[in-house]
Structure 1
């Protein structure tokens, strides 16, 4: 059996004097899995994603991603790990409207110092693969929501990450565009990409992941195949 790509051991995180956002959470995700994290607002799912990404640190416990102890990295080390090993997709795209689609997609590689020729070839390959190569010279503010999310996914894949994290990737899209992104995530996972998806959308979780984790009050309450998730998971 392969080594875990993500391993959290008894992780807790508290903000200010409130109740724990996460309380003694342990979780393992193996390479090639597609996992959805479900829960209502305030359940701790975004905190969990931030800890996996190295955007936040646990108060107690350990976080290991792709062989690195994320909880022990400084800000610079965590940023470098995200840049090279983790791709991130957000609800509101976070594209730069003053750059072309190609330049947005190529940005992570340029920040990583890859040669310009290699960067341009990789960006063109991703735009063609995701069906948006005709928009290569367009600026993102001229695209539809679904097209912008495809650009964001291409950018996330630019440095060939071991892990793709998606935070409510269809939350700002209409139904048709949301289904398009769902199919894209399914295809990427079928090709071997490990995906961890945070969402409140049970239909999205069922359509593009094979495992769902339900969080409530900072604790994992269910961890099971997607088709078996109860509707109350997203209330």
Structure 2
């Protein structure tokens, strides 16, 4: 039996006296899966992603990722965990405008103590594979939205993470650029990358994911495999 890469057990998260953002969520994700988390605004999607990333802690329950009890980590240990095991892709790219594309991509490796030469070779490989190698010496502001998202994915993959987390990765893109990122995520999953994707876009979920998890009012309302058209 495959050991889950991600395991949430009876996880709840409350921020105030109102309803919980997550309410006793139990969820397992195996290595190599691509899972889309769907649901209306306020359903708990981003809260779930933040708990898996170690950016937040549950009020109750346990979060285990790649053998690490993420809910028990302190601030410094959480940062090390993200550097070693997690790649993060955000809706608005979060690239540093005063660094070149190559330096943006190398940043996670340098923070992890990787030698600059080794980081440069890895960055060159990733940027070439993702089709933006010609922009290595450019600054992010000179790139299109789709190109910046490709650079953000390269940065997320820099330290060879076990898990790629993507929060609305096409939300700030036009249709053509969104389709470009959609193909990129599909290709990454085909190469074996485990992906958890938060999105409002059902078409993106159906094209990139092998499984969808629907959240409603902080609970799992549905969990099903994505049907593929043959």
With the length of structure 2 as denominator, give the TM-score of the two structures. Answer: 0.98
C-alpha offsets along residues 51-108 of structure 1, whole Å, 9 cap, x if unaligned? 0000000011000001000000001101100011000000000000100000000000
2:171 corresponding residue in structure 1: 171
Alignment of 1:19-58 (within 5 A): 19-58=19-58
What corresponds to 1:105 in structure 2?
A: 105
Rounded Cα–Cα distance in structure 1 between residues aligned with 2:225 and 2:172: 26
Q: What is the correspondence of 1:127-138 to structure 2 with a 5 Å cutoff?
A: 127-138=127-138
Runs of 4+ in 1 over 4 A off after TM superposition: none
Gaps of 5+ in 2: none
- 1:166-203 CA deviation, whole Å, 9 max, x = no partner? 00000000000000000000000000000000001000
User: For 2:78 and 2:33, how far apart are their aligned partners in 1?
Assistant: 23
* Residue of structure 2 equivalent to 1:219: 219
- Displacement of 1:208 in angstroms is 0.6
Deviation at 1:226, TM superposition (A): 2.3
| 3-state DSSP of counterpart to 2:3 | coil
Query: Which whole-Å CA distance do the structure 2 matches of 1:68 and 1:127 have between them?
Result: 30
SS at match of 1:227: coil
**1:1-54 deviation digits (Å, cap 9, x = unpaired):** 321000000000011111010000000000000000000100001100000000
> Aligned equivalents of 1:116 and 1:57: distance in 2?
33
Aligned positions of 1:155-166 closer than 5 A: 155-166=155-166
Local SS of the residue matching 1:151: helix
Segments of 5+ residues of structure 1 without an aligned counterpart are: 229-235
Provide TM-score, normalisation by structure 1. 0.96
SS of aligned partner of 2:102 = helix
* 1:232 counterpart residue number: none
2:62 is matched with 62
Q: Post-superposition shift, 1:116? A: 1.0
Deviations 1:146-179 (A, max 9, x none): 0000000000000000000000000000000000
- Correspondences of 1:60-209 after superposition (within 5 Å): 60-209=60-209
SS at 1:31's partner residue?
A: coil
Task: Give the number of aligned pairs.
Answer: 228
